[in-house]
Structure 1
């Protein structure tokens, strides 16, 4: 009987030690999520302030980001294809203004940062480092000065297209649609000039949402590492938004990073809107696949929280990021590689894009 209790005590102690281990690792790591849509989904559309408790209404608010151990959140500046010339830039500017206003109301909890030095200062001060990425090149309305304006306001990546193409780049949705007849696919000369200017500014080129032809045109144009802020693996889930193996390898060769999207429909080829959410292990499979193909230096997290209706099971909101750390440890990942995946890889690419 005594031996039995000793065994149980040892097992319980091991479980506690394991829990403590993944939580400690998560706490020590700089955790970065490169894509969250709470600004457009809640602040603009519903008039909600994510500085308040929005539990039950959104995936995201400031207190829950803290609870989930998120140190750096890149907030998506987004409007869809209903906005165009004369309205898209204004809509984006309104979201940027909203983020600045929320930061001003919560100076002890968050600060807007634009570079690695600012990011590190925020983390050291135990504040959320808030960054911005424009999701959709239509928001510059074909104007280079609007791109400059976004950069001056603190935007540090731009997704070249959303699902809608621009006049200078074609999207993945359009390139795979039989109904889309505009040619040629890919980047026009104007598009190449925009990409080169982004490199000159130090604004990360984001290849999530772009078509394959656009993807390859960008790869042959850039001189700095790119990102995919919220994309997953085509071989595991063959949908138009995911990356094929040759694209993944090209990003590895470019020195870039792919932040895996949490959307069940981009993780699980069997997912239907009326079915169960994708299992958590399948999200880890997508991370694993990229690591096995190009190594642990080129993958990160781009949840798409508040832009998706179905995250994986157990990942109910932004408080649940430590579960990813736990699952990576279970797969045998080394602590150093987990830190890279949680945020280190994005920080490296951000630093590599900075103008010297």
Structure 2
């Protein structure tokens, strides 16, 4: 039906309303972005996100401009860099976020539950949530997990890109057959059970397939996949295949669509390499995509990244597979170098609402994708 709607609009048979009213629709939404790395990439580097920045994807003025009502701030560490003191590093990041909030009390407030979010939004302020990205930061300790929860962490992404003693990562394991993978250890299962008791969402983005299925056997609550996409469209280990999506739907969980061009479009990295060679010079094979992208001009960056339609294609596919009640957004802004065209930073989020309206989604459907689905599983995890 949505494809038919787009076809009819294209030929002028239907005059769409989205072109005139998408900004008004967006203003009515409660926008919840389930994953943003601005703490590690800007705040800890001394950048004042209370002011509009030239660097990065995120600051408070652009969050307001983008209509973001609830922002999840990721607390992250590289497992290899933080083999020791990862828990201390996590607390340092929360300290840094709390300092930003203290400096901007009229614009942003820390939320610890859905009731807080409701009250904060009534006051017209941004509700800040905390998500811990990487189980290495609890240092295999349930008391550390509990302390992070007390400080406001409302989800734990079980792994990043390395295996832990109690949980395994897709980056390490998913090149192996499922039967050869390791998932949750006995301790890992105890951690999941304690998260359920606390009301802390279990996030399996970055987790191995075996970890994903092991979690589903243990958890009594709906799970979160905070920033991943559809592997059927882009076969990357960070995306979920159809069997995982089917299991996610049965669990009642939610997948937050990741904005990273490389997870949306298989051709992104090759276009980036070609552009680098054409406009900059010979490419060191060890150079990261982030460094390649940064060397290009804004116009060249726009040319190599994926169109916004690719993101909507992933949303369409996920809605088809898991249903409208199980898809959210987890942008990964400031954790990625390249977002889709016309979604270059958080201020551009109204363009996603515009694209969804153009694709034929109704306002109530967009409201679920843009925020209500995330809040639904957060509330279900809060309940005992």
Normalising by structure 1, report the TM-score: 0.92
1:340 aligns with 2:368: yes
Deviation at 1:79, TM superposition (A): 0.8
1:250 aligns with 2:247: yes
1:18 aligns with 2:15: no
| Correspondence for 2:332 among 304, 307, 311 | 304
What residue number does 1:270 align with? 267
Q: Distance in 2 between matches of 1:147 and 1:85?
A: 17
Deviation at 1:133, TM superposition (A): 0.3
Alpha carbons 2:181, 2:210 under 8 Å: kept? no
How many pairs align? 337
| Correspondence for 1:118 among 110, 116, 119 | 116
Q: Distance in 2 between matches of 1:49 and 1:86?
A: 28
Alpha carbons 1:161, 1:210 under 8 Å: kept? yes
Q: Distance in 2 between matches of 1:196 and 1:84?
A: 26
Alpha carbons 1:172, 1:241 under 8 Å: kept? yes
Q: Distance in 1 between matches of 2:325 and 2:123?
A: 27
Q: Secondary structure at the match of 2:154?
A: strand
Instruction: Give CA deviations for 1:63-121 in whole Å, capped at 9, x if unaligned.
Output: 00000000000000001113445311111100000111110110000000011111011
Alpha carbons 1:77, 1:134 under 8 Å: kept? yes
Instruction: Give CA deviations for 1:138-183 in whole Å, capped at 9, x if unaligned.
Output: 00001111000000000000000000111000000010357xxxx8
Q: Secondary structure at the match of 2:68?
A: coil
What residue number does 2:211 align with? 214
Q: Distance in 1 between matches of 2:103 and 2:73?
A: 17
Q: Distance in 2 between matches of 1:47 and 1:291?
A: 39
Q: Secondary structure at the match of 1:220?
A: helix
Please provide the CA RMSD for this pair.
Answer: 1.5
Normalising by structure 2, report the TM-score: 0.85
1:47 aligns with 2:46: yes
1:196 aligns with 2:193: yes
Q: Distance in 1 between matches of 2:74 and 2:47?
A: 16
What residue number does 1:293 align with? 321
Q: Distance in 1 between matches of 2:49 and 2:160?
A: 24
Q: Secondary structure at the match of 1:48?
A: coil
Alpha carbons 1:226, 1:255 under 8 Å: kept? yes
1:59 aligns with 2:87: no
Alpha carbons 1:170, 1:186 under 8 Å: kept? yes
What residue number does 2:34 align with? 34
What is the 5 A alignment of 1:142-291? 142-177=140-175, 185-272=182-269, 273-274=272-273, 276-291=304-319
What residue number does 1:8 align with? none
Q: Which runs of 5+ in 1 are unaligned?
A: 1-10
